[in-house]
Structure 1
């Protein structure tokens, strides 16, 4: 089976599996796991922040970050197409008493400054209004096709946030993909946000875990919230050992995933009945099936039966995500499977 549903399907490398049983361990809830502490120092250093904390998942990492930034009853400004708003079960509202203010998302993943401005009441002293406490951005932007936010735009958002006295949180689940696409160190992307969440378990191929980075004071708040949310994992060095290899060995190879994504898009665009978003910037390809008689459900099912796993991700679009478990040969085979599925349907309809 060629697995293109998500880069969360990556499997740990042999080096990770060898490192796990050799990890030095302690109780991380007490702050005494040396392997976790090493991972946290490495993550903070790479992103140019004071501190970092190892989290069980990206969802918990974002939730704890929002709760650390936002008082109960305040608002978080969040794109209406972002993962935080759509795929994280309303956690900030349920657990943090935080109101989501959805902001229109542009095709390239940006939230326009004028749209952010509209979320602020004309009279902030009016007690009727919930006040904004945080601006969130997603980079790269998943549902917008893995689009990377330009550094100039990140600087613009940062300046706007500073003018309002608000912090910026970046959901950077694939922030290393953004850095590779921009050809800059990841710290250059991270400098425009007060806090960042990024995943070890997507393209970086670790089995479990995400990181939150920011100031030491902020990370201390997240540490307490992690405990509250049930994220203390005791001898977590077993998992952190794989995360260290993710950061030391798996970053540069993300460029291969980007190349494979572009190869997939180029192949799909040659197939009649497929409409492809050719602006492929990272490891995500979006396309639609326009062939007569096909719903996205039928197409996905028939591709699966032929050996290709893909999935719909909003508005009837199909998403394919390249990763370390997918080779160039797999990409070429996937293109042939799509051709075969459409050709078979055409023959049957005749």
Structure 2
């Protein structure tokens, strides 16, 4: 317990310090446009990835804690995804390259988890989907960090209950690192995660979830994983449905996420992040109750029905303006140079 508290505290402080340092360096030596405008840089994920990986590896190096079986390969795969995201932050990558690299990293994790071929293939698809769902959610100040921190804590509890203290420690460190980052990312954000941080976080959460639940019966594992990730799944479904209905390219970023619609309904940016965090907490608590056997997996059914209902209701909130019904032209780069592409490496 003492090692866990120490590691989490170190991750929180280290992330906060690194994020501030990265922001200062980018504003001093970064692109001229960023220096002139003072815009929040999109490289804050470097701080989250370095702090999480560094603190997690420090225990074995210092001889005070062990990673546990399966944690080291997971860290390696997550680190590779973080590097992929960093490359995308500096020079946007093609979607096929990104998805292919993520699938390869997910395959390595699933193989080491010992899942049979059929379940393993589904797990790889799920990891890739959730990884990019978290990346999509990183579109509003504080939103993704709040949801991911709550999810990480919930998964940490599941890992400890399953006799995987190494995974529990890693997820606790990730939650602490995200909390430290929120000190800079809370509205008005001074720095953003970027693809490096959002893909790293999403991949680590999804892969840890699959690993921790590898020995759990299928229906129970499915119910738990759905409850733990209901918020990011809802946001992704909402964005895809909204852009399809509006005739907009699916990969073109925009202010059409849950957080944006909540702001259109009158909430502040901080308020929308809090609502998403509380919604994630509710889903996490349901998942933990299922994991403990206090409620049956079928209890997740109301949440399953709530997701499409929420999507339908939120679709009624206008976000595109009068021209939204016209098919947007496909272009290789956004018309607004400050805008970016969701799945191709930017914020919405």
Using the size of structure 1 for normalisation, the TM-score is 0.29
* Larger relative helix fraction: 2
Larger Rg: 1
Using the size of structure 2 for normalisation, the TM-score is 0.29
* Larger relative strand fraction: 1
